[in-house]
Structure 1
């Protein structure tokens, strides 16, 4: 068996093992070290069992991950998200936006999407957004006689926007993987992110107009009567503080006033300030936020360690060259290659989470991008848009399972899946728009940084 064949066998075994449910980070490390021992084995120089270059590689890759400046922003943004999540901001925000949008068809669904978009932007943590909105907005929508599947789709789709809209943790991980500037990635993701949120809202309002039974208009006795002055006060105390925090962080990054890590530090401090202002900053909540931040950051970092060891061995054995030769031998057009890559990522989204896809499988496509003349920045935004589907596509739609975990007992998982499917079509529409008009993703990076 040749080395490239061993590399392909290595990849195949890895896919089978993770489908069986083994921990992905430790599987990567174990297989990287195991196959690396074979790849770097040199009987003439070997003086002991541990005299193999794979152990040096493992130590060096671990140090490289821990010293990566880009990844420093991950725990800081995570901490900002977790502390904001526990600051009791979202319930006020949802209530205020609902009052503001009460004359719009499907007003509560629109308010839920707006709240999800803002909260997802502040946190970037899909599970947290879907769970919290599932406990807050979903029961309110059911009480207002909204169709159960329609309301389910709104919560699940809105909660996934944090994957794409900056400051997205996913984009930080992609930047570390691809060596693309995180600042340019953030600039490129702004228009597509809000375009997708706009498509969601257009769908919700359109469905509510065509079929009012899905989202009944609120009864006059159920509408809280507030004056313009009261509404302004509500916006000033709920919407604008969070919006100011988000815009401050993004503005500092996009205008070059601070690095992503420095801006994330500002965001974390701002999150603490918001929690204190809302009288929600307790020792218990702070301790829990720190614990969740450390746990999630450790998961991401060990995934990077395992992935880089695995990919280094895979490339050394010739697996990367073999895949490149195979793909280039198909004589695909750039569009056909993009479609094939996005289809593979879409299918991988069923059994895997975005972190595994970005860290393990996307690097397989990155060396092929220059051959097809595809901008890695554009490819990254497309992947981020595509990965919305990994949380929404049955039967492994994690957003649906998050919602099911906090939904009333009578809400069936099949009902949630049914509500999610129309929003998948909106994601496809957004991807088609980006395929045909790449400027949607490239305009801001070119305008600000001459990309």
Structure 2
């Protein structure tokens, strides 16, 4: 069989197996096993050696130790109710503006993203906390759903992010180390949050019925000094934790794995200060961490098997020749790669997309002259859309699971569309101004 036929057949088999609804990690490993046997003449010992060496390499990867530590930090923070205190203070501070409660959600989710990095925790927490307040003040259902779902997905982009840890572990390159990815993601993440903020503010000022302000009596209950004090009191604990984690990484004092350990300890202290730390909380947080880490690592193993077999049989060369040998402009090649990632995001989990595409696309991007760090962040921003795009956007179902009665999936689908367009706009901005990604890594790590 020709190499081109095997390459196409391997991808079509993967798509068919995913469509049939089989678990993704096992699907990736099964397809890799089938085509690995075909490629090496059905030599089981040879394939077993290949898989065993890859699995051992994964388990021996020090960078990946940060995954369970960051997940544990997120679980403890979720249970310490840090976001509740912050939302309550911002409810008073920003509520008097048109769209002010929506703006408060964006700010809280941005801070929460920089402390947790777990999408489910952000969307569920804000769905439970903010949706009743938004409904009681007359906010449009579509806009409310869009604000919470889109702002909640900032956690996958703003560091510390599990996606960046996985990406850095996959590439193994100095340019795309976890530290560089964290530094490179800060400005794009804040830029995206800022565009959300501006969009909500402008749209609600054009049409105040979409997001009316709270009453003047409610807004004037507290003096300016009291509002400032409430905000600082609720904002300081998470900001100290963010500086402890990101500050040590950017200053070169700690590796991402060591900083993740520091963050877990800090989250435990915050939970203790808020009187939320007990045996039940520790048990639930540890169990949730074990469950999530196991899922991520199984995907990692299955995806690595798939990419290893695909590259070993020459599939990467086939794809590279298709893109590079076609004579297309390099920006056209970039658009095609980003379009493939975007379309995959509608149906497949972000981790599986990374595991399948990064080993193939990264060499192509470097071959046509793109900066690897910049290209990596483009992919990460693009993958953020996978949480919002129907039919399988995780954030949509997280929100639907906690939304009050009256919210339909159609409300949610309509609400997220402007925010998906904003995310695509942010990719265009990063293409026009690459320094948004590269400036901070250059400043901190040279």
TM-score by length of 1: 0.95
The reply on whether 1:238 has 2:234 as its aligned counterpart is yes
Which residue does 1:418 correspond to in 2?
414
Aligned-partner SS, 2:346: coil
CA contact (8 A) 1:33 1:55 kept: no
Q: Is the 2:180–2:441 Cα contact (8 Å) retained in structure 1?
A: yes
Deviations 1:221-273 (A, max 9, x none): 33361234433442343111011101210011011010000000000000000
Equivalence for 1:58:
51
1:281 corresponds in structure 2 to: 277
Counterpart contact for 2:157–2:189, Cα < 8 Å:
yes
1:320 pairs, out of 313, 316, 321, with 316
Q: Is the 2:139–2:209 Cα contact (8 Å) retained in structure 1? A: yes
Runs of 4+ in 1 over 6 A off after TM superposition: none
Structure 1 counterpart SS, 2:395: helix
* Alpha-carbon spacing, 1:236–1:222, altered in 2? closer, same or farther (3 Å): closer
How far did 1:108 drift?
Answer: 0.6
Q: Counterparts of 2:165 and 2:92 in 1: how far apart (Å)? A: 35
Counterparts in 2 of 1:165-314, with a 5 A limit?
Answer: 165-179=158-172, 180-223=176-219, 225-314=221-310
Q: 1:4, 1:317 within 8 Å by CA — same for their partners in 2?
A: no
Do residues 79 (structure 1) and 45 (structure 2) align? no
> 2:18 matched to 1:25?
no
Q: What does the per-residue CA deviation read over 1:297-332, in whole Å, with 9 as the maximum and x for residues that have no partner?
A: 111212221222222211222211111111112212
CA contact (8 A) 1:85 1:128 kept: yes
1:362 and 2:358 matched? yes
What runs of 5+ residues in structure 1 fail to find an aligned partner?
Answer: none
Query: 2:367 aligns to what?
Result: 371
Aligned partner of 1:125 in structure 2 is: 118
Structure 1 counterpart of 2:97:
104
Could you say which residue in structure 2 is the equivalent of 1:403? 399
Query: 1:15: Cα distance to partner?
Result: 1.5
Aligned to 1:8: 8
How far is the alpha carbon of 1:5 from its aligned partner? 2.2
Q: Is the 8 A contact 1:156 1:403 kept in 2?
A: yes
Taking the aligned partners of 1:58 and 1:424, their CA distance within structure 2 comes to 38
Structure 2: how far apart are the matches of 1:212 and 1:3? 59
CA contact (8 A) 1:90 1:115 kept: yes
Q: Is the 8 A contact 1:5 1:319 kept in 2?
A: no
Deviations, residues 335-380 of structure 1 (Å, cap 9, x unaligned)? 1111111111110010012111111223221121222101111111
**How much does 1:6 deviate?**
2.2
Once residues 333 and 243 of structure 2 are traced to their aligned partners in structure 1, the CA distance between those partners, rounded to angstroms, is 36
- CA displacement 1:26-61 (0-9 Å, x = unmatched): 12222222322332337xxx7xxx5x2111111111
Q: Tell me the TM-score normalised to structure 2 length.
A: 0.96
Alpha-carbon distance, 1:4 to partner: 4.4
Q: Distance in 2 between matches of 1:98 and 1:332?
A: 51
Distance in 1, Cα, partners of 2:85 & 2:240: 16
Which consecutive residues of structure 2, in runs of 5 or more, have no partner in the other structure?
none
Q: Is the 8 A contact 1:150 1:419 kept in 2?
A: yes
CA distance in 2, matches of 1:333, 1:170: 29
My pick for the range that moved more, 341-350 or 25-34, is 25-34
Count residues with an aligned counterpart.
443
Cα distance between partner residues in 1 of 2:401 and 2:433: 39
Native 8 Å contact 1:178 1:376 kept in 2: no
- Whether contact under 8 Å (1:189, 1:441) holds in the other structure is yes
